[in-house]
Chain A
Amino acid sequence: MTQNSINNIRNFSIIAHIDHGKSTLADRLLEVTGTIEKRNMQAQVLDTMDLERERGITIKSQAIKMNYAAQDGNNYELNLIDTPGHVDFTYEVSRSLAACEGALLLVDASQGIEAQTLANAYLAMAHNLTIIPIINKIDLPGAEPEMVTEELETTLGIKKEEIIFTSAKEGRGMGEVLEAIVKRIPPPKGNADDKLQALIFDSRFDAYRGVIVYVRVFNGTIKPEMNIEFMGTRKKFEVQEVGSLKIDLVPSDKLTAGEVGYIIAGVKDVKDARVGDTVADANNRAEYPLPGYKPAKPMVFCGFYPVQGEDFKVLKDAIEKLQLNDAALFYEPETSAALGFGFRCGFLGLLHLEIVQERLEREFNLDLIATAPNVIYKVNMKNGKKIYVDNPTKMPSPADYDSIEEPCMKVTIFTPAEYVGNIMEICQNKRGTFLNMEYLDPKRVMLAYELPLAEVIIEFHDLLKSATRGYASMDYEIIGYQVSDLVKLDILINSEPVDALSCIIHREKAHYIGRALAKKLKKTIPRHMFQVPIQASIGSKVVAREDISAMKKNVLQKCYGGDVSRKKKLLQKQKAGKKRMKRVGRVDVPQEAFLAVLQIEK
């Protein structure tokens, strides 16, 4: 059978916590269905970025089509749409899920339910997807499938008899999984003869072919030479090619309702084919777009500056290129009096930030100064206006506003019971409010706290991991803004304010952080020929001061004929050290100083 009817299509994704074996399961399904021959198999086919393989995580969503001959004698087209597991990429998960009718919920038989398992399972339920629960890694010595079964029953209300037990590594249970996909997940609804409605769930820029748009067709048919319109951006294009997503792009004559595939239509800019937008027939427009999703909102911000000012152009090109495939990455040029020209970038979370920074440095060979990350504040001005501030430098004067609100989140932590005390202490120090605590079983606890996002983005995850020997997992959701007693702490070096070092912090912590930051900077900044005062101030009030004493003497005493080469090298070394620093006013400041605020120990 070459022509699938809509009843023979199944669209699904896999949701799992990091390391629970999602990529291995995907690999095995591709193999069993013969989509990829075993000998051509490179581990974790769907994770195409080097970084993804190295970190063992999926960053971008991917889609792939498999053909499966089921026990009922029919051939099915199975579209697997891969989703990232990490909490930062919730947005990518939700857009993948919107293109599916079902999801495989994968849980590690020895680890049990983790924070992200739950978060993504709820997300799938919210999209009305059919969930196929799978307990994986049953081959491991520490596997406790009965206990995990119980957890699934109590936390998600999953029926015991629905659960499939697998070992993706050994290929056990794959047949059952494929049969369950066919039998339990409903076929897509929709009509190939209706007006075209296709949801863009991803897009990718290809240097030769322009933007490749990944769609799920809900109604109608899409073919080459057809005129299409992106309903949100109202841009029109002529379709050049459509096809399905195998390991490579495989052209076909059309895509019909229920199918997943790609469109190439001479689109030059990814922004024209916005993820979440609906593709319509330009000559026969659908009345309504499909329900899209909210655009990704960056939550964490920081400044990126090239160490060498002349690299600005390289940085600009690099960020532009990355953004082509990363809709969630926000950036705008910014100028710092201290650091020169750079970009203020917005990210979904800290991991996203780290990945972008690593990709910029690795793929574009850049040396970057990253300023300390911060969140976006809502400032209630005296004149009644509300403004959003994503950079401490832009915080208005206290005289002009009534209050500042900061984003808060509900953080859910899964942990072995013995670490509850440690975690509570961390949350307390991070200005957390206890919400509730629940025993999943006698040994495992779910803790919920409300915490300011600003506190979570700075070393919270590291603290959590080290306080629980790596056993705890966390998930978070933004619950909105709350008024908080925040102040802007400025740093003055040699009496000049250094904008890149300003930070917004809670008033109660301001003095402590001011003192610690001044001390830290004193250690980081080398001595100069003049005394360099370092001041931390809130408004015009100086809350801490440290002085870097002037260098009084730096002279090579003994220097004769035999010393010339050696002393020259010594001077060159001293000079080279200075060159790697940023000059702020008359003071040379090393790179690490700009991250000093992150290194203040409690």
Chain B
Amino acid sequence: MNPLSLYIHIPFCKQKCNYCDFASYAGKENLIEEYINTVINEIKHLRPTALSTVYIGGGTPSLIAPKYYEKIFKLLSIAPGAELSLEANPGTINQSYLKELKNIGVNRLSLGAQSFNDKHLEILGRIHNAKDIFKSFDDAQAAGFENINLDLIFALPNQTHNDWKEDLKQALSLKPQHLSIYNLQVEEGTKFYNIGDKLPRPTEDEEVAMFEYAIDTLKTAGFHHYEISNFAQPGFECKHNVVYWENGNYLGVGASASSHINGNRFDNPKTIEEYIKLTQLQNKVDLLGHKNQPDQKETIFMGLRLLDGLSKEKFKGYEKEVKELIDDGLLEQKDKIKLTHRGLLLANEVFKLFI
């Protein structure tokens, strides 16, 4: 097995956010030790080599002591110049913690800022406030991080267009290398979902306006809008995530982590308890060992998320659909086939034709 990218999932959180439907659990810190040991076992078994990217996501990876990551990294064979990312939540980290991470090799930090408005952070159920974001960002820079991402969410309950402008202004004042901008989606099984129609969300027109404002503002500030929700200073695009969008090979370890190797997909059990039994490991090894072709539909719908688009050859057999979408102004074809601005807002309508 020769994967290029590795994802490690850390499903622990201090508190579940009101919008969150990921595999993350509060109040299970007693399982951390056993969980990390299982991750280590899984990695030992899978033996990934020549890793060009490693991404530790969550949950809240910054709840885990650096010594555990050190143990994991020792097992890995990491290629020179590899991108090693870790997600951290403001309010859970300090300068010495970040320094330790930096020392063991983490070179990209993703901060879950979400908003700079304390009221909105509270509504979201976050444990931090705006001050924590500034502090954590400064700490990260002081610890030597030169590639920092901020996550932001817009279209929050009761959020006005001006509130959103202010959030963006604060974020830009920190001069991050990367920004991920998400429209709030109310997913089944979340607290927001249970509130239902009573949740005071902006209208569709307002959401579009917020998204378009962000695109314009970040472009003016020199960011490269390279994926539907992602913006980077040139050269700071997230290499790990680009592997996903190019439908490349990646191995996922930990609860709920997904792998895609040689066209085969495998999802680990979602809960911590199920995962630590590690009963499906042999299935996983067997399945991922098959030689297969990546699914063309997935290659197209993931690939079109990259705003540079995809080469024409990838659309073989879908010429009729491509033409229809170009006629509707949702796709355009230059050297590559890519989403237009309108196609970006209606991307699902585009993707549907390839599913």
Contacts and interface: CB of A to CB of B under 8 A. Distances in A.
Contact of B355 (A551, A559, A561, A575): A575
A394 to B, nearest CB: 34
Contact of B258 (A529, A552, A557, A565): A565
- In this complex, the member of A559, A562, A575 whose beta carbon has the largest number of chain B beta carbons within 10 angstroms is A562
Interface stretch (A138-146, A259-267, A271-279, A566-574): A566-574
Contacts of B96: none
Contacts of B204: 552-553
Nearest to A572: B355
A555 B347 contact: yes
A564 B346 contact: no
A558 interface: yes
B252 A561 contact: yes
Contacts of B182: 557-558
Contact of B348 (A560, A561, A564, A574): A574
B262 to A, nearest CB: 15
Given A551-B346, A553-B204, A561-B7, A571 B301 contact: yes
Interface string B236-277: 000001011000001010001110100001010000000000
A571 B351 contact: yes
A575 B352 CA distance: 6
Contacts of A564: 244, 258, 260, 265, 298, 302
Interface stretch (B31-39, B72-80, B205-213, B307-315): B205-213
A568 B298 contact: yes
A571 B298 contact: no
Contacts of A552: 204-205, 208, 345-346
Contacts of B355: 568, 571-572, 575
Given A561-B258, A571-B301, A556 B348 contact: yes
Contacts of B207: 553
Nearest to A586: B328
Given A554-B349, A568-B301, A561 B250 contact: yes
Nearest to B348: A554
Given A553-B204, A553-B211, A559 B305 contact: yes
B257 A562 contact: yes
Nearest to A527: B204
Given A551-B346, A555-B348, A565 B208 contact: no
B301 A529 contact: no
- In this complex, the member of A561, A571, A572 whose beta carbon has the largest number of chain B beta carbons within 10 angstroms is A561
B228 A555 contact: yes
B183 A574 contact: no
A75 to B, nearest CB: 76
Given A564-B258, A568-B298, A557 B229 contact: yes
A558 B349 contact: no
Nearest to B267: A565
Contacts of B244: 559-561, 564
Contact of A553 (B258, B305, B346, B352): B346
Contacts of B56: none
A553 B208 contact: yes
B297 interface: yes
A138 B345 CA distance: 73
Contacts of B15: none
Nearest to B265: A565
A361 B301 CA distance: 38
A562 B22 CA distance: 10
B337 interface: no
- In this complex, the member of A529, A552, A553, A568 whose beta carbon has the largest number of chain B beta carbons within 10 angstroms is A553
B352 A571 contact: yes
Contact of A558 (B7, B229, B257, B351): B229
- In this complex, the member of B228, B301, B328, B352 whose beta carbon has the largest number of chain A beta carbons within 10 angstroms is B352
B221 to A, nearest CB: 20
Contacts of B229: 557-558
A495 B269 CA distance: 52
Interface residues on B, range: 35 or more
Given A571-B301, A572-B355, A575-B355, A554 B205 contact: no
A209 to B, nearest CB: 52
Contacts of B208: 552-553
Contacts of B183: 553, 555, 557
A481 B185 CA distance: 60
B84 interface: no
Contact of B328 (A529, A557, A574): A529
Contacts of B265: 564-565
B148 to A, nearest CB: 19
B352 A574 contact: yes
A562 B256 contact: yes
A107 B239 CA distance: 86
Contacts of B346: 529, 551-555
Contacts of B260: 561, 564
Nearest to B247: A564
Contacts of B243: 561
Given A529-B328, A561-B250, A571-B352, A556 B347 contact: yes
B342 to A, nearest CB: 8
A228 B352 CA distance: 65
A571 B252 contact: no
Interface string B181-194: 01101000000000
B347 to A, nearest CB: 4
Contacts of B113: none
Contacts of B252: 561-562
Interface string A533-558: 00000000000000000011111111
B344 interface: yes
A551 B344 CA distance: 13
Contacts of B347: 554-556
- In this complex, the member of B256, B328, B349 whose beta carbon has the largest number of chain A beta carbons within 10 angstroms is B349
B19 to A, nearest CB: 11
A557 to B, nearest CB: 5
A561 B261 CA distance: 11
Contacts of A558: 182, 185, 229
B2 to A, nearest CB: 17
Nearest to A561: B244
A456 to B, nearest CB: 41
Contacts of A575: 352, 355
B63 to A, nearest CB: 19
Nearest to A549: B204
Nearest to B9: A562
Given A553-B208, A558-B182, A561-B7, A529 B298 contact: no
B228 A571 contact: no
Contacts of A555: 183, 228, 344-348
A529 B327 CA distance: 13
A554 B351 CA distance: 10
Given A554-B347, A564-B265, A571-B351, A559 B258 contact: no
A528 B75 CA distance: 52
A409 to B, nearest CB: 47
Contacts of A561: 7, 243-244, 250, 252, 258, 260
Interface string B270-309: 0000000000000000000000000001100110010000
Contacts of A553: 183, 204, 207-208, 211, 345-346
Contacts of A557: 182-183, 185, 228-229
5 contacts: A554-B346, A555-B347, A555-B348, A561-B252, A565-B265
Interface of B: 7, 182-183, 185, 204-205, 207-208, 211, 228-229, 241, 243-244, 250, 252, 256-258, 260, 265, 267, 297-298, 301-302, 305, 328, 330, 344-349, 351-352, 355
Given A564-B260, A568-B301, 7 more contacts: A552-B205, A557-B185, A562-B258, A564-B244, A564-B298, A567-B301, A575-B352
Q: For the complex of A and B, list the 6 residue pairs with the smallest distance between their C-beta atoms, beginning with the closest.
A: A561-B244, A555-B347, A554-B348, A562-B258, A557-B182, A571-B355
Interface of A: 529, 551-562, 564-565, 567-568, 571-572, 574-575, 578
